Each structure stands twice: as C-alpha cells, then as structure tokens.
Amino acid sequence: MNLLPKDERFFDYFHQQAAILCQASHLLQAGVKEGYQGISQAAKRIEALERSGDNITHQIFDRLRATFITPFDPEDIQSLATALDDVLDRMEDAAFRIVAYRIDPIPPAIIELAEMIAKSCNAIDRALHALHDKASVIEPSIEVNRLEEQADAVERNMLMDLFGSGVDAVTIVKLKDVYESLEDTTDRCEDVADVIQNIAVKNL
C-alpha cells in the first residue's frame, strides 16, 4: 500500500544530492591515497561538486515553496535537504584544510577516515533508495552509525598519539584540525541517517 503521495521530483533531487555526495567522497578517498598532489586536484573537483550540491538544495527549497502535496512533511524535506548539504559542506572543508595546511605526507589515519566517509555516503545512498521504495532503512542507517563510532575512535586515538608524538606544535594544530573536520563529516552523515529513519517511521 502506497502511503506517500506521489511527487517524484523531490526524490529525484535527493538522489542527485546523494550521487554528488558519493562522487565527492570517492574523490576525497582517492585523493588522499594518492598523496598531497592527489588531494590537491581532488579538492578542486570537490569544491565544484559542493557548488552543484548547493544549487540542488536551492531547487528543493524553491519547489517546496511552490508545492502543496509533498511526499512527506515539508519540514522533513527541508531537514533532509539541509542535512545532505551539511555533509557535502564538511567534506569540502576537510579537503580544503588538508591542502591549505600542506599535509604531506598524508597520515594513514586521514586515509582511514576518508574511507569511512566514502562508505557512509554509499550507505546514505542506499538508505534514500530504500526510503523511496518504502523498504526498510534500518540496515544502511545502522551502517552509518557504526562508521561514525569507528571514526570517533580513530580520531580519539590519533589525537592521543599526536600529543604524545613530540612533533612541533604547529603540526599538531594542523593535524588535529583535519582529524576533527573529517570526523565531523561522519557526524553529519549520521545526522542524515537519523533524519531518514525519522521520516520512515512517520510514514509507515
């Protein structure tokens, strides 16, 4: 039984946002694996994707103002669009900081966190397709939550190691900021998963 009124355009926008998230996260992951030059090139492409994501978010808000029948509560549409945009913003910011701070070589922890971000974005994409298909969103949502917990543990461990490593204070500040920015991106992914779960529960 279809309990959601038909308005496929909103889901089209959300799928576009998710596709951009996945593309940006894979660029981030590949970029840090390739080293400083790799992430320098990837950061430029991620910045362009971030602008594309902003444009889609604006389109969602414009359509929301002009639409009376939406697939779910307008407040939830706004929350989901904003949460997806926040992930892309944080990802772009993390890539920018790695380049701006000239982190070279790229520490393994950054590569590990970037991989977790990519996996989280893939899970978000699966969750959005499940929501669209009125299927269970539990498995991909749990995956996002699990990855956020892992990223938090990696960040904490790296910060402990960093402050006991004897490296200079400037390097500590730079790496600490990058680790926190990457971990915060997984937090924003978890926010998206929470919004999707709330929408799914409300529209059972």
CA distance 143 to 132: 18
Label residue 9 exposed, middle or buried (CB < 10 Å: 0-12, 13-18, 19+): middle
Under 8 Å CB-to-CB from 28, ≥6 apart: which residues? 39, 42, 46, 91, 94, 95, 114, 117, 118
* pLDDT tens digits for range 17-30: 999 999 999 999 99
pLDDT at 8: 66
Flag whether pLDDT at 4 surpasses 60.
no
What is the average per-residue pLDDT within 95-113? 97
Sign of CA dihedral 82, 137, 193, 54: negative
Tokens coding 55: 């444009």
Quickly count: other Cβ atoms within 10 Å of residue 132's Cβ.
16
Q: Please state the pTM of the whole predicted model.
A: 0.94
* pLDDT tens digits for range 40-95: 999 999 999 999 999 999 999 999 888 777 888 889 999 999 999 999 999 999 99
**pLDDT confidence bin for 6, thresholds 50/70/90:** low
Cβ–Cβ < 8 Å for 154, 112: yes
Flag whether pLDDT at 5 surpasses 70.
no
Delimit the domains of the chain by residue range.
Answer: 8-202
CA distance 39 to 202: 41
* pLDDT tens digits for range 169-184: 999 999 999 999 999 9
What is the average per-residue pLDDT within 111-123? 98
Tokens coding 123: 């899970």
CA distance 80 to 166: 43
Tokens coding 19: 């596709």
> Identity (one letter) of the amino acid at 59?
Q
* pLDDT tens digits for range 146-203: 999 999 999 999 988 888 877 899 999 999 999 999 999 999 999 999 999 999 999 8
Closest CA to 14 of 95, 67, 66, 71: 71
**CATH homologous superfamily of domain 8-202?**
Phosphate transport system protein phou homolog 2; domain 2 (1.20.58.220)
Flag whether pLDDT at 2 surpasses 60.
no
pLDDT at 167: 85
**pLDDT confidence bin for 7, thresholds 50/70/90:** low
pLDDT at 13: 96
